Amino acid sequence: MTLKKKTHKLRSTKQIKRVKLLCISCLVLLFSLPALGQDSIALPEDLNEEKELKFQKYFFKALSEKAIHKYQKAIENLESCHQILPNNVAVFFEFSKNYYALNNTQLAKEYIDRALVKDPENRWMLKHLVAVLQRSNLFDKAIEVQEKMVGGNPKDIKPTALLSRLYLRNNQPEKALELLKALEEKNGLSSSLQQLKDSLEKRNSRSIKEVKPIELDSPVYQFESDKTYASLEKVLKNAKSEAVLLKYSEQGIQLFPAQPYVYLVQGKVLNNQKSYKKALAVLKSGVDFVIDDEQENDFFREMIKSYKGMGNILEEKKYLKKLNKH
């Protein structure tokens, strides 16, 4: 057997082991979710051993198909599970995750709601619900759920950080800043969250200097007049000068810190100027606000350029893999 074939066989074996491990973990979850009613985990009296084995077979198969991104196939197996054992919370949860992966947010929301009726305090499912609501641009509802998870006590960094970003997406920068300050006092902030907090504080304390435009009908003039994101986007999409792009993308980060496009523009310019380290810091701060797969790919491409320019081959390959998964 050639070295190439051995390597391929080894990779295939490892992939199969990962899928099996995932299946076993999820089966344990299936029968151990806390606070489930008896009607959702206890097997009905008429569910004999043969049906139980079929249920487990279809459930394993659904998890395996999802692991290799064959979401429609996974859904078909989950439908077989549902026919054998209706109204199972874990099956509902898996339905929702697969529909979410297919970007069918309506059905993803419907199934996660069904699951949460049976286990309303399950944090894994609540976290998934927030993702569904966020992708649907229902930020008020996403905030309501995330506030429940944080519980008014920002001890956990990730849930609190997500809540602050949801506030920003919902045009509530004051609440986001207040939360970040509270988190800083409790646990400290990561570099990206620290940068976000600094941006929000600068927005509150620093007035942006007025620039006298040359042309009264230019995008720059419009932006300087109304300071709206729509006007800023026109500036960034029409500007030819890197100096202008840097200037107004920086203003955009200060004024609209939850808009990923302004970070992407600045990251691109910095990459072009071979300021790879600065570009990477900006891109990492902005990618957290991305909810669109296509735009996320744009960020990954620029981050790959940054890592390549810095000679970090390991991280370059890591993000190439992420890019290829989409």
Q: How far apart, in whole angstroms, are the C-alpha atoms of residue 66 and residue 56?
A: 15
pLDDT at 215 exceeding the cut of 80: no
Identical fold at 49-136 and 219-325? yes
- What per-residue confidence (pLDDT) applies to 45? 53
Residue 26 CB: number of other CB atoms within 10 A?
18
- What per-residue confidence (pLDDT) applies to 24? 46
Cβ–Cβ < 8 Å for 78, 98: yes
- What per-residue confidence (pLDDT) applies to 155? 66
Structure pTM?
0.56
Mean pLDDT of 212-233: 77
Q: How far apart, in whole angstroms, are the C-alpha atoms of residue 286 and residue 171?
A: 16
- What per-residue confidence (pLDDT) applies to 152? 63
Q: Which CATH architecture has domain 49-136?
A: Alpha Horseshoe (1.25)
Task: Give the residue, 326 or 65, on which the prediction is more confident.
Answer: 65
CA of 158: how far to CAs of 97, 155, 164, 293, in Å?
20, 9, 10, 21
- What per-residue confidence (pLDDT) applies to 6? 42
Q: How far apart, in whole angstroms, are the C-alpha atoms of residue 35 and residue 89?
A: 11
Q: Which of 90-99, 153-162, 212-221, 249-258 is predicted most confidently?
A: 90-99
Q: How far apart, in whole angstroms, are the C-alpha atoms of residue 28 and residue 243?
A: 56
- What per-residue confidence (pLDDT) applies to 23? 46
Helices (H), ranges, 171-275: 173-186, 191-205, 219-226, 229-238, 242-255, 260-272
Least confident piece of the model among 117-131, 265-279, 282-296? 282-296
Task: Give the residue, 188 or 307, on which the prediction is more confident.
Answer: 307
Task: Give the residue, 309 or 13, on which the prediction is more confident.
Answer: 309
pLDDT band at 169 (very low <50, low <70, confident <90, very high): confident
- What per-residue confidence (pLDDT) applies to 267? 94
User: How deeply is 305 buried, as exposed, middle or buried, from its count of CB atoms within 10 A (0-12, 13-18, 19+)?
Assistant: buried
Q: Which two tokens stand for residue 271?
A: 């990459």
- What per-residue confidence (pLDDT) applies to 160? 83
Q: What residue segments make up the domains of the chain, in order of their start?
A: 49-136, 141-206, 219-325
Q: Which residues contact 300 (CB under 8 A, 6 or more apart)?
A: 319, 322, 323
Q: How far apart, in whole angstroms, are the C-alpha atoms of residue 63 and residue 267?
A: 38
pLDDT band at 217 (very low <50, low <70, confident <90, very high): low
pLDDT at 32 exceeding the cut of 50: no
- What per-residue confidence (pLDDT) applies to 102? 93
Task: Give the residue, 299 or 39, on which the prediction is more confident.
Answer: 299
- What per-residue confidence (pLDDT) applies to 29? 46
- What per-residue confidence (pLDDT) applies to 216? 56
- What per-residue confidence (pLDDT) applies to 59? 94
CATH number for the domain formed by residue range(s) 219-325: 1.25.40.10
Q: How far apart, in whole angstroms, are the C-alpha atoms of residue 286 and residue 265?
A: 10
pLDDT band at 154 (very low <50, low <70, confident <90, very high): low
Task: Give the residue, 8 or 300, on which the prediction is more confident.
Answer: 300
Nearest Cα neighbor of 208 from 265, 269, 250 is 250
pLDDT tens string 88-121? 999 999 999 999 999 999 999 999 999 999 999 9
Q: How far apart, in whole angstroms, are the C-alpha atoms of residue 133 and residue 197?
A: 24
pLDDT tens string 122-139? 999 999 999 999 999 899
Q: Quote the radius of gyration of the chain (alpha carbons, Å).
A: 24
Mean pLDDT of 238-254: 91
Mean pLDDT of 247-256: 91
Mean pLDDT of 85-89: 91
Mean pLDDT of 229-242: 90
What is the average pLDDT score of the chain? Answer: 81
